[in-house]
C-alpha cells in the first residue's frame, strides 16, 4: 500500500509561462487529515474510507479515480460537507469544515458542487436554476438575473435563459448545473462524475469546456471520475483510490501545459500514464478478488 503522501507538499516547479496551474499560491487550500468514514447498518459495518491525507493547493485541478465502490464519491461528499467524516478533519482555507455535526458556513460558501445528475429544479427556468444559490443568499433580483445572464454566456446557453429544464438535453442540463455551482463565485469546484451520463462526443467537448471554465474562474477543482483518460487529460494530479477500505494508493502528477487540446491524448507520455494507472486499478481489482476467496 504505497500511499504516495510523502510528496504531496512537493511543488511542481515549472515556469509560469507554460500555463501550469499547480501551486501558484503555495499553501494547501483544501486539506484532509486522517479522514475516515464508516457506514453502520443493522448487520454490518463498512469502512468506506480510511486514513485519507491529501492537500490540494489553490487553483489546482485534482482528479479522484478508482473502481466503483472505492469511496471516491464519499471522499468528495465529505469535502462538500454532505457527509460527516467518522474520523479526521477537513479544512478549507485553514477553516475546519466539520465541527461535530455542524458545518462551517464560511467554508461552505467557498464550495460549488456539480453532481452526476444535474439535479435542476424542474419548476425553475434555466436562469432561476442558475441563480438559485444567490436567491438563497438574498441577492436582489436584478443582480441575480445579471449573473445568470453572464453565466449562461460562459457555459454556452445564451438564448435558453427562460427555458425549463425539461426542454434541455442532458449536456445542456449539466451546463446549467455547472453555471449554478459557479453563481456565487466559489473558489472550489467539486464535481462528482458530472459528465458520466453523457455520450462520448459530448463528454469530450464538455471536458474541454470544463478546463476553460476552470481557467476563467481560477477555481480549485476536484473531479471524481471513473475514466482514467479523462482524469489524466484534465488534472494536475490524479489521485487513485483503492477499494475496501478506500484509501489513497497513488498520486500521479500530470504536467502538460494548458490549455490542453484533445491531441494530448495521442502523446506517448499520456498513454504511459493512462496505462500505468489502469494497471494499478487492475491489480487492485485482483487483490479484491483474492480477498473475496479468502472471506
Partner 1 sequence: MSQQQAQATPRGTGTHAAPSQATPPRRRRIRLGRALPWVSTAITLVLMIIIWKLVIAVFDVSPFVLPQPEDVIGGMGDLINSDGFWTDVRTTLTETLVGFGIALVLGIVGGTVLGRVVWLEQALRPVIVASQVVPKVALIPLFIIWFGFGITSKIIIVALLAFFPILLNVILGVRSVDTGHRDVMRSLNASRWQTFRRMEYPSTLPYVLAGMEVGIVFAVVGAVVGEYLGGDQGLGYRIVTSLNNLEAETLFAVIVVLTLFGFLLYLAVVGLKRLLIPWHESTVDNTRAST
Q: Is position 125 an interface residue for partner 1 (rule: CB under 8 A)?
A: yes
Q: How far is the CB of 116 from partner 1 (least distance, A)?
A: 9
Return the residue of 33, 47, 55, 103 that touches partner 1, per CB under 8 A: 103
Report the DSSP pairing between strands 188-192 and 111-114: parallel
Among the residues of the chain, which ranges form H helices?
72-79, 105-109, 126-130, 132-136, 141-154, 170-182, 200-217, 228-234, 268-294
Return the residue of 54, 78, 80, 235 that touches partner 1, per CB under 8 A: 80
Return the residue of 123, 200, 201, 295 that touches partner 1, per CB under 8 A: 123
Return the residue of 3, 46, 84, 124 that touches partner 1, per CB under 8 A: 124
Q: Is position 145 an interface residue for partner 1 (rule: CB under 8 A)?
A: no
Q: Is position 251 an interface residue for partner 1 (rule: CB under 8 A)?
A: no
Q: How far is the CB of 48 from partner 1 (least distance, A)?
A: 17
Q: Collect all residues with Cβ–Cβ distance below 8 Å to 69 and sequence separation of at least 6.
A: 243, 244
- Grid cell listed for 85: 467524516
Return the residue of 108, 139, 145, 264 that touches partner 1, per CB under 8 A: 108
By rule CB under 8 A, what count of residues binds partner 1?
A: 28
Return the residue of 55, 164, 197, 251 that touches partner 1, per CB under 8 A: 164
What values do phi and psi take at 248, rounded to 5?
A: -75, 125
Q: How far is the CB of 221 from partner 1 (least distance, A)?
A: 16
Return the residue of 42, 44, 142, 166 that touches partner 1, per CB under 8 A: 166
Q: Is position 117 an interface residue for partner 1 (rule: CB under 8 A)?
A: yes
Which whole-number Å values give the CA distances from 181 to 44, 107, 174, in the listed order? 36, 15, 10
CA 69 to CA 243: how far, in whole Å? 7
How crowded is residue 164: how many other Cβ atoms within 10 Å of its Cβ? 16
- Using only C-alpha atoms, the chain has a radius of gyration, in whole angstroms, of 19
What values do phi and psi take at 196, rounded to 5?
A: -60, -30
Return the residue of 5, 46, 119, 212 that touches partner 1, per CB under 8 A: 119
CA 20 to CA 33: how far, in whole Å? 26
Among the residues of 158-267, which ranges form H helices?
170-182, 200-217, 228-234
Q: How far is the CB of 213 from partner 1 (least distance, A)?
A: 18
Q: How far is the CB of 167 from partner 1 (least distance, A)?
A: 5
- Residues of this chain that interact with partner 1 (CB under 8 A) are 80-82, 103, 105, 108-109, 111, 113, 115, 117, 119, 121-125, 132-133, 135-136, 159-160, 162-164, 166-167
Amino acid at each position: 500500500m504505497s500511499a504516495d503522501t510523502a510528496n504531496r507538499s512537493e511543488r511542481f516547479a515549472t515556469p509560469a509561462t507554460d500555463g501550469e496551474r499547480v501551486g501558484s499560491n503555495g499553501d494547501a487550500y483544501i486539506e484532509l487529515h486522517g479522514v475516515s468514514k464508516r457506514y453502520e447498518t443493522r448487520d454490518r459495518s463498512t469502512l468506506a474510507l480510511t486514513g485519507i491525507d491529501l492537500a490540494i493547493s489553490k487553483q489546482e485541478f485534482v482528479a479522484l479515480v478508482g473502481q466503483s465502490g472505492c469511496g471516491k464519491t464519499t471522499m468528495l461528499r465529505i469535502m462538500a460537507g454532505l457527509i460527516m467524516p467518522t474520523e479526521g478533519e477537513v479544512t478549507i482555507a485553514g477553516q475546519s469544515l466539520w465541527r461535530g455535526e455542524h458545518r462551517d458556513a464560511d467554508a461552505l460558501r467557498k464550495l460549488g458542487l456539480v453532481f452526476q445528475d444535474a439535479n435542476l429544479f424542474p419548476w425553475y427556468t434555466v436562469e432561476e436554476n442558475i441563480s438559485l444559490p444567490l436567491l438563497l443568499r438574498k441577492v436582489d433580483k436584478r443582480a441575480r438575473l445579471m449573473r445568470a445572464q453572464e453565466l449562461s454566456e460562459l457555459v454556452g446557453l445564451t438564448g435558453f435563459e427562460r427555458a425549463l429544464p425539461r426542454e434541455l438535453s442532458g449536456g445542456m442540463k449539466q451546463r446549467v448545473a455547472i453555471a449554478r455551482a459557479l453563481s456565487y463565485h466559489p473558489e472550489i469546484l467539486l464535481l462528482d462524475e458530472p459528465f458520466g451520463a453523457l455520450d462520448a462526443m459530448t463528454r469530450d467537448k464538455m471536458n474541454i469546456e470544463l478546463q476553460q471554465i476552470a481557467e476563467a474562474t481560477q477555481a480549485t477543482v476536484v473531479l471524481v471520475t471513473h475514466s482514467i483518460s479523462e482524469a489524466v487529460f484534465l488534472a494536475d494530479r490524479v489521485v487513485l483510490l483503492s477499494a475496501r477500505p478506500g484509501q489513497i494508493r497513488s498520486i500521479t502528477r500530470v504536467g502538460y501545459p494548458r490549455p490542453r487540446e484533445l491531441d494530448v491524448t495521442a502523446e506517448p507520455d499520456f498513454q504511459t500514464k493512462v496505462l500505468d494507472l489502469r494497471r494499478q486499478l487492475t491489480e487492485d481489482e485482483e487483490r479484491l478478488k483474492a480477498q473475496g476467496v479468502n472471506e
